[in-house]
Amino acid sequence: MRHKTILILLILFSSVFAPGCVDNETETEDVPDVKMPIDTASIDDLIPTKDLPIGITYLGTHEVIIENATESIEAVYKNSNKDDFYVRVAKTDSKDTAKKLIEDYKSQYSGYRYNPFEEVMLSNHSATQIKDYTIQQGKNEFTYLYIWNNENYVFIVSSNILNDNSLTFEIAQAVGY
């Protein structure tokens, strides 16, 4: 009889305590970050800090001055090759002012002997890819920059990577606006 009592107590204790000890981790599904609607987002919300391309690390933001912007910030990123990436966001008074800011920015390339502009699609928005030539150690090299607006915000994404636009393009896509 004593063995039956011990067995019943053992079964009772294991049914009460065992379920809590089996798995300490709660199961959660990977839910992607939902971007705030642009009309309610703050300028800081528009900077990508999560779900970045593999190997890209977000380092932080600082204020920058962009002419005709009411507020502007720049985020800095780095990858394992020590390449630098920058995402600038400028808030303007209106959508028209944002478009004017882009035209003013593009006008600095007006003296080029080639057309540095190519229209591309980013996050369901038309953006301008700018291919800028530079001379590095006596060789012609080029970098890429992406600029577009969404409502009254202007986005400018650039890097110091030479002759390859793929990672800069991925960062621009990560902006998501």
Domain architecture of the chain: domains with CATH: 43-175 (3.40.1000)
Q: What's the pLDDT score for residue 8?
A: 54
Q: What's the pLDDT score for residue 171?
A: 96
- Token pair for 177: 């606006």
Contact 50, 75 (CB under 8 A): no
Q: Residue 7: CB partners within 8 Å, gap ≥ 6? A: none
Would you call 173 helix, strand, or coil by DSSP?
Answer: helix
Does residue 2 have a pLDDT over 90? no
Averaged pLDDT score across all residues of the chain: 87
Does residue 17 have a pLDDT over 70? no
Nearest to 123 by CA among 175, 167, 56: 175
Q: What's the pLDDT score for residue 25?
A: 47
Contact 151, 95 (CB under 8 A): yes
Question: What is the number of other CB atoms lying within 10 angstroms of the CB of residue 121?
Answer: 10
Does residue 15 have a pLDDT over 80? no
Contact 102, 149 (CB under 8 A): yes
Q: In the chain, how many H helices and how many E strands? A: 3, 7
Task: Say how far apart CA 116 and CA 128 lie, in whole Å.
Answer: 9
Nearest to 49 by CA among 11, 19, 75, 10: 75
Q: How confident is the model over 76-118, as pLDDT tens digits? A: 999 999 999 999 999 999 999 999 999 999 999 999 999 999 9
How much of the chain exceeds pLDDT 90, in percent? 75
The whole-model pTM stands at 0.80
Q: DSSP letter string over 26-40? A: PP---PPPPPPPTTT
